[in-house]
Amino acid sequence: MTDAADRIQETISANDVVLYMKGTKDMPQCGFSQRVAGVLNYMGVDYADVNVLADADIRQGIKDFSDWPTIPQLYVKGEFVGGCDIVTEMILSGELDQLFDDKGVTYDKDAAEKIREANA
């Protein structure tokens, strides 16, 4: 494993929920990252954010690590969940709630419901 892969593995092992994104959860620097961070923030999920723009090794490394070509990338309990489109579909279908329930991740169920209502 490369140094970047080791650091990625350590980060996703040490945190229940990790979002590899462009920018930070407080200041996303792309629309897709903003959408996923916005959903997690709104749902009150406690997650680690990793700014791939701050580290070229991680920016490429996360794509190699997951074999997924785009950022953002969401990990829950060490498992790659997906990018913006997948996370958006999962929140709208209720699958994200189910995943968080299954993995023991705390979130605001009412907020999740409100997102679905707003997008119905």
The predicted structure's pLDDT at residue 120: 82
Q: pLDDT per residue over 85-106, tens digit each?
A: 999 999 999 999 999 999 999 9
Q: What is the CATH number of the domain that holds 31?
A: 3.40.30.10
Residue 1: pLDDT over 70: no
Q: How far apart are CA 13 and CA 29, in angstroms?
A: 25
pTM, to two decimals: 0.96
Q: pLDDT per residue over 7-55, tens digit each?
A: 999 999 999 999 999 999 999 999 999 999 999 999 999 999 999 999 9
Q: How far apart are CA 18 and CA 38, in angstroms?
A: 14
Q: How many domains does the chain have?
A: 1
DSSP secondary-structure letter at 78? T
Q: How far apart are CA 75 and CA 72, in angstroms?
A: 10
Query: What's the domain range around 87?
Result: 3-118
